[in-house]
Amino acid sequence: DAGVIQSPRHEVTEMGQEVTLRCKPISGHDYLFWYRQTMMRGLELLIYFNNNVPIDDSGMPEDRFSAKMPNASFSTLKIQPSEPRDSAVYFCASRDGTSGSFVGRGGELFFGEGSRLTVL
Partner 1 sequence: AQSVTQPDIHITVSEGASLELRCNYSYGATPYLFWYVQSPGQGLQLLLKYFSGDTLVQGIKGFEAEFKRSQSSFNLRKPSVHWSDAAEYFCAVGASYGQNFVFGPGTRLSVLP
The two beta strands, 74-79 and 110-111, are unpaired
Which one of 17-25, 37-45, 67-75, 77-85 is the stretch in contact with partner 1 (CB under 8 A)?
A: 37-45
Which one of 12-20, 42-50, 66-74, 75-83 is the stretch in contact with partner 1 (CB under 8 A)?
A: 42-50
Among 13, 81, 87, 97, binds partner 1 (CB under 8 A): 97
In whole angstroms, the minimum distance from the beta carbon of 96 to partner 1 comes to 12
Which one of 19-27, 68-76, 79-87, 106-114 is the stretch in contact with partner 1 (CB under 8 A)?
A: 106-114
Residues that bind partner 1 (CB under 8 A): 4, 31, 33, 42-43, 45, 48, 50, 55-56, 91, 93, 97, 101-103, 105, 108-114
